[in-house]
Amino acid sequence: MTLLFRCFGNTPFIKAGTGIGMLAGLTLILAACGGGSSHHGSESSCAARHGWPSDPLGTDSTRHLDASQFISVNQLKQWHRELDALGLRDTGGPEEDAYIRTLAGRLDCAGVRDVTLEPVTFPRWSTDDWRLTLNGEPLPVASYIPYSGSTPEQGVTAPTVYVDITQPVDPSTVAGRIVLFDVPNVTVPTQFFLDNAMQVWDPLSSFSPDELYSRPYLAIDAVTRTLDALGNTEAVGAIGILQMPYETAHGSYFPYDGIIRQVPALYVDRDLGAQLKGLSNGTELTLRLPAKVADTTTHNVVAMIPGASDEITVIHSHTDGTNGLEDNGPDAIIGIAQYLARLPQSALPRTVMVMFSSGHFAGGVGIKGFLQQHADDDLLDRIKSIITVEHLGAQRWEPDSNGILQPTGLDELACFFAPRIPSLADAAYRASEAADAGPVIISAPLNPDADAGKHEAVWPGEGQYFYSHNKMSDANYITGPNYLLNWGVDTVEKTDFQRVHALMMAFTRMVLDLSEVPGEDLSAPSATNGETIAPPEH
């Protein structure tokens, strides 16, 4: 077993090549790091300490998945609780770095080979101090707007001005001012997703095409366009007013495209926003957001489970996030890897690559870095399919008449985004059916020709970067509940861990099924211009 990362400091052990077995002999003892994992063939004792199944599995275990051979529901819940406790794991920050190294240790413990940390360097914007004061009195700020800009240590003091962001910004009006603007509530009908549907799994008919879908993050584009417009003026600061109470607005973290803007900005809730808009002309506020920008190295985790061929099926999620749900995909993937690593190598038609990418909250720098690093070797050509999983087991919570989120008792709507390839769509449908996870819309890319830039997402998920930059065949399972992009929120109570466990098993089945699909059937285009791919036969 090779676990290739340094335990002390922030300097990674740089991988010299790719491919199974190329790193043999370059081993570091994780036990020296002070905890978490085993090494050198002691996976069984490591798994025993965690209470994981550890006996080798037979060939028949590829056909019949035994729930008792996966990590438990309680384990998934405990890991999720630990993620909530970490709080915001912004890209390249110490909390994300700790989680990355924890995941690498768990993969090693699960018996996965060649666990490597691949470095990616990017300009990280960060802050640990943000304040808004009126006449020296602090005001309750909901959050800061990431990558928005920076103030001096003492902040900036200036009068406010309200702007209607549906109209062009007048530079003369905002010069020397702190700009107030309303962050709109954006809604779309569910039919918007159905228009791109290849298949739908909704046995309980739990949503209607006419139902309105409203989530805070749908306003990301409005916020980015506003900040970009203000960046071309002499505005000294900005305050986005979220249309919700403080309890719901607190910890809001968007946009997260990693583009460093010029106007330092904060979020406030609707009540404080109304108060600020009602201030007399010339009343001054002090906005303090002393952010730093520094070149920072984060890491992708890449590991291999050898199969019968050098062709690769990837199971993938990301490591940065706002809370335990965003993103609990890696926790489930540890369970998937712990099962697959115990199968005979000959039972896996393809090698399985486990990838945990960083950089989701910095414009996809992790995947972009991965694609650049491997542009000149054969790794990308060997990848035949990718399964990206995010935000598993999310329960639907909706705002009540006061704007406070309340449980509905329903599963959150999920989408499985994938290019129009029948084998991918069929596998996604079967995974949704196997997990009894509904409703799930198996959707074609919303914007297939986009570059996944700040205004042009291919689809709302980390897997979009594989598709937009290399046209790789990625099937991306994702949910988007109201609380997804809030740090400091408890998501344990908002997550169905039985469902997470069922999805973990279903994605294991999906990995195995896609490993048997010929490569040419995973890349050939099919069904364009809204044509629906029929559900698989049963």
Q: What is the pLDDT along the chain (538 residues), one digit of tens a residue?
A: 333 332 323 333 223 333 333 322 222 223 223 333 333 334 555 766 678 999 999 999 999 999 999 999 999 999 999 999 999 999 999 999 999 999 999 999 999 988 999 999 999 999 999 999 999 999 999 999 999 999 999 999 999 999 999 999 999 999 999 999 999 999 998 888 899 999 999 988 887 888 889 999 999 999 999 999 999 999 999 999 999 999 999 999 999 999 999 999 999 999 999 999 999 777 899 999 999 999 999 999 999 999 999 999 999 999 999 999 998 999 999 999 999 999 999 999 999 999 999 999 999 999 999 999 999 999 999 999 999 999 999 999 999 999 999 999 999 999 999 999 999 999 999 999 999 887 999 999 988 887 766 667 888 899 999 998 878 999 999 999 999 999 999 999 999 999 999 999 999 999 999 999 999 999 845 434 444 455 554 4
Tell me which DSSP letter residue 469 carries: H
- Which element (helix H / strand E) includes 314? strand 312-318
CB atoms within 10 A of CB 299: 26
d(CA 292, CA 147): 10
d(CA 536, CA 300): 35
Question: What per-residue confidence (pLDDT) applies to 48?
Answer: 62
* Cβ-proximal residues to 294 (8 Å cutoff; 6+ apart), any chain: 123, 124, 126
CA 478, 369, 515, 458 torsion-angle sign? positive
Question: What per-residue confidence (pLDDT) applies to 87?
Answer: 95
Tell me which DSSP letter residue 118 carries: E
CB atoms within 10 A of CB 499: 18
Yes or no: say if 210 and 191 are a contact pair by the CB < 8 Å rule.
Answer: yes
Distance of CA 177 to the CA centre of its chain: 35
CA 190, 193, 198, 199 torsion-angle sign? negative
d(CA 74, CA 411): 20
Give the type of residue at 291: A
Rounded to whole angstroms, the maximal C-alpha distance in the chain is 75
Tell me which DSSP letter residue 183 carries: P
Q: Which residue has the tokens 């819309």?
A: 441
d(CA 148, CA 130): 12
Backbone angles phi, psi at 115, to 5 degrees: -75, 115
Candidates 5, 29, 24; CA nearest to 299 is 5
d(CA 458, CA 448): 6
* pTM metric for this prediction: 0.88
d(CA 506, CA 427): 10
Three-state DSSP class for 113? strand
d(CA 49, CA 43): 10
Question: What per-residue confidence (pLDDT) applies to 209?
Answer: 83
Candidates 531, 509, 316, 524; CA nearest to 427 is 509
Describe the crossing of helices 329-340 and 94-109 by its angle, rounded to 10 degrees: 20
* Cβ-proximal residues to 242 (8 Å cutoff; 6+ apart), any chain: 142, 183, 216, 248, 249, 252, 267, 268, 269, 270, 273
d(CA 264, CA 262): 7
> Quick one: how many helices (H) and strands (E) in the chain?
14, 22
517-521, Cβ contacts within 8 angstroms, sequence gap of 24 or more: 517/384, 517/385, 517/423, 517/427, 519/311, 519/384, 521/421, 521/422, 521/423
Backbone angles phi, psi at 4, to 5 degrees: -100, 80
Distance of CA 515 to the CA centre of its chain: 24
d(CA 467, CA 450): 10
d(CA 148, CA 495): 31
Give the type of residue at 267: Y
